[in-house]
Amino acid sequence: MIATATMTTFLMPALLSTPAPIMAFTSPSALSRSTNTIRHTTNNINDAATRRNTLPSLHAIKEATFGMGCFWEPAESLLKQPGVLATTVGYTGAPPNKPPPSYDTVCFGNDYVEAVRVVYDDTILDYTTLLDKFFEVQKPGLSRQYASIVFVTDNNEEEEVNKWKTAAIKTKVKRQSDNLPYELVEIEPTCSFYRAEEYHQRYWEKQRLRAGLAVLLVAGASGAYDDFGGGVIGNFELGGLAFDTICNAVFLVGAGWMILERLVVRDVRELKSGDMILEL
């Protein structure tokens, strides 16, 4: 973008200062193309400036990582909070010598924690408020996999979390919905974070869509649409196959794909600090 802006800076004086005799020998089509090029370049620069102005300043975009129990619902709940730009679910909390995890090894191991990494705009949602939201929506369990943990990146963050936790314990505050105590929250240093398999990302959003489609397909297979539209749908055939047969086939293929996805998909990858910000 800097190179384009520089080119425009040099082109404009050159065109404006071109002597009249030379301009007289320039064809109208060439002049039109030059003018359009300059206008297009200028518009691109203005559009880019507009996009930059609508995004939060880079220094205001932060990351935070939390162990919140089963990560499906908390990730979705945090994403709805004003100021949260993105969430992803993954695995973290293991010692440095541990191999990269999978969902199976996390479920049957004692090292990795199901975690949610959050990207947020610090000008809208400050860190202390984010901690409150974390505590409010988490679903911790008794095992290491579902532990309640705030993963801190530096001493300042650790001090802020300790201050937040100590103040809550001192005033004997508990979560209103179930009296969950703040003493349950652990504090650990940030370590390697592995983005979980794709089928875990936005899990409930996908499940709601699949459930809706499944209901429609089961209804079609049972003949619920036979009288709809004067029997047009119920009597529909494709390649000699009846409508209810097609619905059954689609439903079974979809169910089979979900099972296969869990057995085969192993797209776990490590996310370095700042990777999610770069992907926005």
Residue 177 Ramachandran class (φ > 0 left, ψ -120 to 50 alpha, else beta): alpha
Residue 251, both tokens: 């439903």
Tens digits of pLDDT across the chain (280 residues): 444 444 344 344 444 444 444 333 444 454 454 455 445 444 544 444 443 454 566 678 999 999 999 999 999 999 999 999 999 999 999 999 899 999 989 999 889 999 999 999 999 999 999 999 999 999 999 999 999 999 999 999 999 999 999 999 999 889 888 889 999 999 999 999 999 998 888 876 777 676 666 566 555 555 555 555 544 455 554 444 565 565 566 556 555 656 666 665 668 999 999 899 888 7
Question: What was the pLDDT predicted at 215?
Answer: 60
Question: What was the pLDDT predicted at 261?
Answer: 60
Strand extents, DSSP E, 136-211: 148-152, 186-189, 193-195
Other Cβ atoms less than 10 A from the Cβ of 208: the count is: 10
Q: Are strands 269-271 and 193-195 parallel, antiparallel or unpaired?
A: antiparallel
Distance in angstroms (rounded) separating the CA atoms of residues 275 and 280: 9
φ and ψ of 133, to 5 deg? -65, -40
Strand partners, 41: none
Per annotation, catalytic residue among 70, 107, 191, 247: 70
Question: What was the pLDDT predicted at 272?
Answer: 93
The DSSP call for residue 142 is: S
Please give the CATH number for the structural domain made up of 58-197+269-278.
3.30.1060.10
pTM equals 0.66
Question: What was the pLDDT predicted at 243?
Answer: 53
**Whether 70 is catalytic:** yes
Sign of CA dihedral 56, 57, 58, 61: negative
Furthest CA-CA distance within the chain: 86
Nearest to 217, CA basis, from 187, 247, 173, 182: 247
Give the start-to-end residue ranges of the domains of the chain.
2-54, 58-197+269-278, 201-264
Strand partners, 116: 66, 89
Contacts of residue 40, Cβ cutoff 8 Å, sequence gap at least 6:
none
